Amino acid sequence: MSTPPDAVAAPPPDPRLMTVLFMGVFMSALDSAVVGPAMPALRAAFGVDISQVGMVTIVFSLCSLSSNALMASLSDRYGRRPIYLLNILGFAVGSLVIAVAPTFAVVLAGRALQGFSAGGITPTASAMVGDAFPPEKRGKMLGLIGATFGMAFLVGPLFASIMLTLAGWPWIFLINLPLAAVIFWMGLKALPTHAAAGVGQPFDWAGVVLVASMLTLLMLGINRVADRLMDAVLWPWLLAGSAVCLVVLLLVERRAVRPIVPLRVFASRQLAVTYALTLGAGYGMGSVIYVASFAVAAFDMAAKQAGFLLIPLVLASSAGSVLFGRWLNKLGPRAVLLSGFGALGLGSGLLGVSAVGLWLFIVATVFMGLGVGIVVGGTLRTIVLDEVPVADRGAAQGLVNIGISVGSLLVVATLGALADMLGGGVAGLSQAYLACAGVMGAMALLVLGLRGK
């Protein structure tokens, strides 16, 4: 599929547009980073145990993953501006529900609304970049948006600790209300209008239900494996159910007038390879989850101190997203992604042998962070924007989010299980990261299937 030309030259975007998009994505990413420090306070406030409080993260992830395709498709159908603002509003309402919740069940309800709204913010923002900017500027702008995740990961725990010390856990979520109000007010003025497509056509409710069911069953099944809950009766049925939903989804979407998952995007080799790479990008990003555990095991370091060793990784990730977003047009997506997966592979490989010294460990994390910033930043999203027609931009960006999320789920299950199988501790984690380096090498080979510059 060739790059689709814009039918009509778009007027210059409002200078405040990127501020609105950046703030919205940052707000949704920040709430994923602040929950960890807040969990002990939530346990104390509602008298729940560790497994119960873990539902705060699981519910958010489930709802966010399930809403990606729906919200992205709605933005194609009704316009980016109203859907983006609706999700900002929904995120704020969910934050308020959590902050004033009288019971833990209400906390989970608010968290579900937060996740459902967060699932629509990033793909809609990415599609809006495609609507507002010419192709030569999209990589730079999406790189800036991609850097927000690294910033949220760095700022989130510190912000949560300050709020817990000075004001109490509800303020971790209440702070979203004035932020969302500013985003909403600025968005009314700065966000461009987008011509709606397919408003009079029947909505693909069957596709929505099948996508949500498939992803929910997949996530629950993978989590069962990741948590070592090897129930021979339950988790195989969860994964099998997800596979059945996928088959039925393919059949349904072929007949849908306006499918929520437009299968035509996979007809292009460029896009088919790109979506396969989103799984690898998520796998590389998710592999970071065990880095702090590796430091604790290898260097006999306290868990609280190990978190500081992730600062070089986070800074490298933000720098990689911004810099390679700027260089995307000069280097081309194939060269950029080769650099990203190469850095991830090198970092994972070095981590596999870094038990010999702390400095080698830090160098390894810098390469890993750089690779994550490159492959999860704007490059994959830019390829998709350049390849799909305007009417499919939202749905296509939603599929990028889904691919990255599924890849992140897979790495948590496989790396953890492999590390335990190989003895656990430093030895097991070292071998697991060497295996991860092999996966990143396979992704680098897959990148060669993309067109050149």
Domain count within the chain? 3
282 and 230, same structural domain? no
What's the pLDDT score for residue 197? 59
90 and 29, same structural domain? yes
What's the pLDDT score for residue 224? 64
- Let me know: does 49 contact 102? Beta carbons within 8 Å: no
What's the pLDDT score for residue 5? 42
CATH number at residue 164: 1.20.1250.20
Answer yes or no: is 426 within a domain: yes
Last residue of a domain, one of 195, 215, 239: 195
Which of 273, 308, 269, 271 is closest to 291 using CA atoms? 308
**pLDDT digits 0-9 by tens, 41-70:** 887 888 877 667 767 877 888 888 888 888
Answer yes or no: is 200 within a domain: no
Answer yes or no: is 422 within a domain: yes
Alpha-carbon span 426 to 419, nearest angstrom: 9
Query: CA separation (Å) from 415 to 219, 347, 348, 423?
Result: 16, 15, 12, 13
Last residue of a domain, one of 217, 238, 255: 255
Q: Determine the 3-state secondary structure of 7 from DSSP.
A: coil
212 and 168, same structural domain? no
Each as own residue / partner, the long-range contacts of residues 49-55 (CB below 8 Å, 24 or more positions apart, any chain) are: 52/104, 55/108
Alpha-carbon span 289 to 148, nearest angstrom: 18
Answer yes or no: is 301 within a domain: yes
64 and 188, same structural domain? yes
What's the pLDDT score for residue 305? 64
What's the pLDDT score for residue 228? 52
278 and 217, same structural domain? no
224 and 100, same structural domain? no
Answer yes or no: is 387 within a domain: yes
268 and 238, same structural domain? no
- Let me know: does 328 contact 336? Beta carbons within 8 Å: yes
Answer yes or no: is 346 within a domain: yes
DSSP state string for 361-427:
HHHHHHHHHHHHHHHHTTHHHHHHHHHS-GGGHHHHHHHHHHHHHHHHHHHHHHHHHHHHHTTSHHH
Answer yes or no: is 53 within a domain: yes
**pLDDT digits 0-9 by tens, 236-270:** 788 888 899 989 988 888 887 778 888 887 878 88
Last residue of a domain, one of 150, 172, 195: 195
Alpha helix ranges (H) inside 79-103: 80-99
Alpha-carbon span 312 to 49, nearest angstrom: 33
230 and 180, same structural domain? no
411 and 274, same structural domain? yes
What's the pLDDT score for residue 232? 56
Which of 371, 391, 387 is closest to 443 using CA atoms? 371
242 and 335, same structural domain? no
188 and 267, same structural domain? no
Answer yes or no: is 1 within a domain: no
In the numeric block, which tokens belong to residue 311? 């600062």
Profile the chain (453 residues) by mean pLDDT over runs of 10 residues.
45 76 88 76 79 75 83 82 92 93 91 90 85 78 76 74 82 90 90 66 81 83 60 72 90 82 82 90 83 76 66 84 79 88 92 79 90 84 82 80 83 76 77 89 91 70
What's the pLDDT score for residue 268? 83
282 and 239, same structural domain? no
Look up the domain containing 234 and give its range: 205-255
